[in-house]
Structure 1
């Protein structure tokens, strides 16, 4: 009797192992999930190499989950049989705290397929908002009426634009010449300030290592400034041509002294005085030009504006 009982228990245990070996194994690859966040579920099935099996695809019913991705793995065959496996990427929108899943695998037997279900596996839904926090929420019983935004009044905007255009045209006809003249004087003032600042920067150190370079840059700046003021190509003039156009004995001596320094390298203690003479000549020309523009007629003012634009 004892031997018979042992034989029956051994036979039952073998049958149990055989049944477990022929059942798909499915499990979640994480212990908790969140609503709308993807997670993975692994499914494997060890079977006889003589049996064809079919895993569910993305169109199968995985409720309460939805399949968004499927990854198959090649079949592995050993002496224990064949092993097929796949990993499913799932997502859930259910709010149950514990959600379960069992997945069928179909085996081909003769002319029919038999569904074999995996062991049921469960997973916990992670709560991001506690019930206590939800209970503290209160809906607003009354709302404040918000006025609708008004649409643009295009006829009124057109009328205002025409009115502004008419006023602007009238102001220009009455005061346009004066406004233009004052604007030109303001631009001349700004250019003069810029010239004085740059000229002073170049002439601050004329006896140092870069003294000759600074003097040369100061002379070039001076010629370009005079060219804009006098509307003559002073930048291309030689020293003799400049002195012929500007009859100034001190200017002639100053230019000769500067030429000796730049082209001959003959330093002189009068270099700073010569540069001051150049700056004074430029300032005199600037003051003379301002007086001409202030006293100019509208026609001559327009001629000067066109010449200034060409210089730019």
Structure 2
């Protein structure tokens, strides 16, 4: 037991002697006066042997009566066997004492021990802006309204967009097929009315003038209309192919052949009863095909 006590005393003596030999760090404020909350800079510099390992305080250190804000550390500089460690600490204080002091240490690692050496204290004077306090305190009010810039409510807009998309998706899921059918019927009726108006115009010109060009335009219009209606290239078919396409329909066969004779015959076409009936037959056939397509769309089942 006596030997253990002796060993401990020798170690403490060695640490004390080593601490007395180590050079003190130098710490000082960059300014002599400050206001409450004002940022202050405290410089800490320590020169030591290059073989020593030295640690400077970090943000976890208790800087009372000051508060730690930030730290700027400079790399160790070594010259002629002497190393210099330095750092600048940015601090602030909210204490009201007029004189406030601070002394930061450095930590020297020696074998398995850590030696703490403090710099000499440096003081800063806190300026007293309020020199006399009246009792009771007077409260100064300011009830003037301040104009605040209106900020666009992006979260609310996003909510509206999502709600709108959900509503549209729901409507489309429930009524989508019906909407498509309605639109197809609308386009079908519009195309048929446009065809009927132009076809009747060509027919009237043919009746009045007996011009084969009017008949040719009427037949060409009829083929183009059925091409769009049937979604087939009927306007590129010959008369024989058109008749076969419509399962040898007798009315179509007779009407087209009559028109072909009037258009391509050697004699000039005349608005006789046969040719007028042929054009009327083609118009009636187109109307029947329109009604057939309309019923197909109406009776279409949802996918």
Q: TM-score range by the shorter chain?
A: 0.3 to 0.5
TM-score, normalised on structure 1?
Answer: 0.46
Bigger Rg over Cα: 2
TM-score, normalised on structure 2?
Answer: 0.47
